Chain A
Amino acid sequence: MNAKSGKGFGILVTFCAMFLFWLLLSGIFDALHIGAGIICSAIIALISHDLLVKGKGEKMLSKSFRFFIYIWWELWQIVLANFDVAYRVLHPKMPIDPCIIEFDTSLRSDLALVTLANSITLTPGTITIDIKDGKFWVHAIAKKPADALLVDKTMQKKVADVFMEW
C-alpha cells in the first residue's frame, strides 16, 4: 500500500466511523439531518483522519479480533479489582502496604502502551503513574499486586500477544 492510497483509506474509514456515530446519536433520518451529518463527518475526516487511522493499518483485523478476546479477560479482572478494593477498604485493619515499582516492556506503539496503562489502572491494586519509552512507573497498593506485574507479567504478555509486539 503506497502513502497516497493509505491516506485516502484513512479518510474513508474516519468518515464512515464519524457518520455512523452521527446516525446513532441523532436518530432522526430526514434529509436535513443526514445532509448536515455528511458535511460534518467529511470536514472532520479531512482535518483529523490521521488521529484515528495512523500510518499503515497492518494486520488490523486480526489485532481487533485478539483485542475482542482480551476485553473479556480484562472485564473479569476489573470485577476482581473491585472486590479487592472493597476487601481492603472494608477490612477493619486495612491490609495495605503501598509502594512504587518500575519495569520495562517490549511494547512500543502508542495504542499498545495506552491499552497496557489503562489495563494496569483497572486491574487489582495497581495504577499507572507514568510511561516513558515503554518503561512503566506503577503505584501498587500492596506487595501481591506488585509481584503480579514484576514476576508473573501475565498482563504484559497478554497485551503483547494482542498487538503482536514481543
Chain B
Amino acid sequence: MVLIDVIVILFLAAGIFFMFTGVIGLLRLPDFYTRLHATGKCDTLGEVLIIAGLLLYHASHYYHEAPLVPVKLLFLIAFIFLANPTATHAIMKAAYMTGVKPWKLGEERR
C-alpha cells in the first residue's frame, strides 16, 4: 500500500510540475503563439499525469460502491489527448486567420 501511495504522489507531483511550467510559460513567453506552445503541451501531460495518479489511487484502494470509476478516468485521459491539441490548433488557426503577427527574435515582447 505504501509503495503505491508513493507512486501516486510521484504522479501527482509530476503533473503539478508540468502545470506549473505551463503557467510560467504563459507569463514569460513573448507572444500569443509561443504562449500557446506552453499551455497546449504542458496542460495535456499535466492533466493526464494527475488523472493517472487518481486512477492508480482508486484502483489500489478498491471501492466496491464505485467499481467503474477507473474506466471513466481512462476515458477522460483519452478525451484529453483528443480534445486538447484540437482546441490548441483551433485557437491558433483563429489567431492566424484574424492576422495576429507572430513574434520574431529580437522584437519587443507583447
Contacts and interface: CB of A to CB of B under 8 A. Distances in A.
Interface of A: 24-25, 27, 78-79, 81-82, 85-86, 88-90, 94, 96-100, 114, 117-118, 121-122, 125, 127-130, 137, 139, 141
Query: Among the interface residues B22, B34, B38, which one has the most CB atoms of the partner chain A within 10 A?
Result: B34
Interface of B: 17-18, 21-22, 24-25, 28-31, 33-34, 36-38, 40-42, 44-46, 66-68, 71-72, 75, 81-82, 85-86, 88-89, 92-93, 96, 102-105
Contacts of B67: 27
B48 to A, nearest CB: 8
A118 B82 contact: yes
- Those 8 A-B pairs whose CB atoms lie nearest each other, nearest first: A121-B85, A89-B25, A118-B85, A86-B21, A27-B68, A82-B45, A97-B105, A129-B96
A121 B40 contact: yes
A141 B103 CA distance: 10
B92 A100 contact: no
Given A98-B34, A98-B105, 9 more contacts: A79-B45, A82-B41, A85-B22, A90-B24, A98-B104, A99-B102, A117-B85, A128-B92, A139-B33
Contact of B102 (A78, A89, A117, A139): A139
B105 A141 contact: no
Contact of B34 (A86, A90, A141): A141
A141 B93 contact: no
29 contacts: A25-B68, A27-B68, A78-B44, A82-B18, A82-B42, A85-B21, A85-B37, A85-B41, A86-B17, A86-B21, A96-B105, A97-B105, A98-B31, A98-B33, A98-B102, A98-B104, A114-B86, A118-B81, A118-B85, A118-B89, A121-B89, A122-B85, A125-B37, A127-B37, A127-B40, A128-B92, A129-B96, A137-B96, A141-B37
